[in-house]
Amino acid sequence: MNRWKRVWVVCCVVLILAPVYVYRTYIPSDERLNRDHQKRIEEQLADIKTIKEPLQGSNRLVRDALMQIPVSERLARIEESNAQHAEFMAKVSKQRPVTVAQLAGAWIVLCSLLYLFGWSIAWVARGFGKGAVV
């Protein structure tokens, strides 16, 4: 392998870090999505618990604010949220392989362009070398 190809291989190995970073940063895992959803549900259940608790002095204002939305409506929202989350998770599961393929394709295109760029520079450099035809 000549020097240009070695540089190209090293650059491609370094460039694989970009799609991996994008995937890890911007594409959340199923566990993270489920954890975030569960956290929102637990917040709603805590509000329902606050509404159902016996009236206490410091709890009165919070309870009055929370009671503007009835418990039955809150429970219906939780059920609706669970159904929407299940649909969303199904879509994410289908979309994830497509996203991985797009990131891999972008990496391949970038490495190919880098190879062509290096090849072009080498071709021009050979033109200025010894024995070049003028």
Tell me which residue has tokens 């969303």. 88
Buried b vs exposed e over 20-38: b needs ≥16 C-beta within 10 Å?
Answer: eeeeeeeeeeeeeeeeebe
pTM exceeds 0.95, yes or no: no
Question: Worst-scoring range by mean pLDDT, 4-8, 39-43, 114-118?
Answer: 4-8
Q: How confident is the model at residue 79 (pLDDT cuts 50, 70, 90)?
A: very high
Tell me what percent of the chain is helix, strand and coil, each rounded to the nearest 5.
80, 0, 20
The arithmetic mean of pLDDT across residues 64-93, rounded, is 87
The arithmetic mean of pLDDT across residues 77-95, rounded, is 92
Assign 53 to helix, strand or coil. Answer: coil
Residue 93 amino acid letter: S
Q: What is the pLDDT of the chain when averaged over all its residues?
A: 85
* pLDDT score at 47: 80
Higher pLDDT, 36 or 49: 36
